[in-house]
Amino acid sequence: DADVTQTPRNRITKTGKRIMLECSQTKGHDRMYWYRQDPGLGLRLIYYSFDVKDINKGEISDGYSVSRQAQAKFSLSLESAIPNQTALYFCATSDSTGTNYGYTFGSGTRLTVV
């Protein structure tokens, strides 16, 4: 099994629908992150969590919310999806510093909002 698992891998949804992207990890890391990738913009941080009771906004949190259900689980929700949220979404984890290998990334969720 992968260290960081994202579900679903691909999703097409309609404008206005609520959608949840899920992430689970077996690394035992405390820190988890959600990033969004758009062509020409690289990866941008949406939300991050340093432990179960800690949730922080990243640089592009508007329109998104998260839930840290357990150390191993971190979900990203789009309350009312819009077309410009079409992107590749990555979940990542790191140890307390992230300095050894940076982050461990999931395989990504490709989301299309029509």
Which residue in the block uniquely carries the two structure tokens 């992230």? 98
Q: Provide the minimum distance between the beta carbon of 2 and other proteins in the complex, in angstroms, as a whole number.
A: 9
Nearer to other proteins, 1 or 101 (CB): 101
Task: Give the angle 34-79-45 at the CA atoms, nearest 5°.
Answer: 20
Q: In angstroms, what CA-CA distances link 98 with 30, 52, 84?
A: 11, 17, 30
Q: How much helix, strand and coil, in percent to the nearest 5, is found in the chain? A: 5, 55, 40
Task: Give the angle 63-33-93 at the CA atoms, nearest 5°.
Answer: 160
Nearer to other proteins, 54 or 79 (CB): 54
Q: Provide the minimum distance between the beta carbon of 5 and other proteins in the complex, in angstroms, as a whole number.
A: 12
Q: Does 70 bind other proteins (CB under 8 A)?
A: no
Binding residue for other proteins, selected from 12, 41, 82, 114, defined by CB under 8 A: 41
Give contact residues for other proteins (rule: CB under 8 A). 31, 33, 35, 40-45, 48, 58, 88, 90, 92, 94, 96-103, 105, 107-108, 110
